[in-house]
Structures are given as structure tokens and as C-alpha cells.
Amino acid sequence: MAADKSHLTIKDSGGVSVVEFSDRKILDELAISEISEELAAAVGRMREVKMLLSFKNVEHLSSAALSMLITLNKQVNERKGQLKLSDIAPPIYEVFKITRLNKLFSIYGTAPEALADF
């Protein structure tokens, strides 16, 4: 990956990898590809996969980003891990509802709520 800066901040919280997005808009194909690689690498490094994606900084998400999330979910499931999402802005959550992805993912209002459910 040739990117100078990471698109993600990953912190450990009691054995759960809490991932925050650095970008407000996740629209660009290259950025989505780099985010996908970063997330896949993070999953690959974990012995026990417990990941929380916090969208608190995200204002816009493209359909390609949704596709990336579906792929990540598949990778986590293959490792018998857990993936939870939190802090999704109402307009973005509407897209999750329209695409029925709110049924695929465990979505929480806040990161602490999601962390409490691991």
C-alpha cells in the first residue's frame, strides 16, 4: 500500500479492536481499496477477531464502501469473529435500511453500547 497516511485509527479496548475512520467522506475508489486492505490486514493480525467500526467521523459513504463492509463481514465470519458497527449518522443509516444491511450487521447507537455487547 503506497498511501502516506492511514485511513483508520485502530485502538484496543479490552480485547476489542475499535476502528475509527479518519475520512469524513468514504467515496473515492482508491481510498476504499486502501481502507479494505487496512481492515483485512487488521483482521489477519488478530488471534480472536472482535472488531468495532465506529462511523462517528463519517458523513458520506459510497455504495463501494458498503460493498467493502460486506466483504469485511465475510472475512470476520470466516474467522468465527464478531463485527459490530456504531455511531452511524442518520442519513447513512437510512442507506443501511434501504439496502437491508441493517439486518446483516449488528449496529449500535454508540461505541460504548457496542463494546458492552461483545
Write down all domains in the chain, each with its CATH number in brackets: 8-116 (3.30.750.24)
Q: Distance between CA 19 and CA 39 in Å, rounded? A: 9
Q: Return per-residue pLDDT of the chain as tens, 118 residues.
A: 444 578 999 999 999 999 999 999 999 999 999 999 999 999 999 999 999 999 999 999 999 999 999 999 999 999 999 999 999 999 999 999 999 999 999 999 999 999 999 9
What does the pLDDT read at residue 65?
Answer: 97
Q: Distance between CA 56 and CA 114 in Å, rounded? A: 13
Q: Distance between CA 31 and CA 96 in Å, rounded? A: 20
Q: Distance between CA 78 and CA 74 in Å, rounded? A: 6
Q: Which residues of 58-78 are buried (b: 16+ CB within 10 A; e: fewer)?
A: beebbeebbebbeebbebbee
φ/ψ of residue 84, rounded to 5: -130, 150
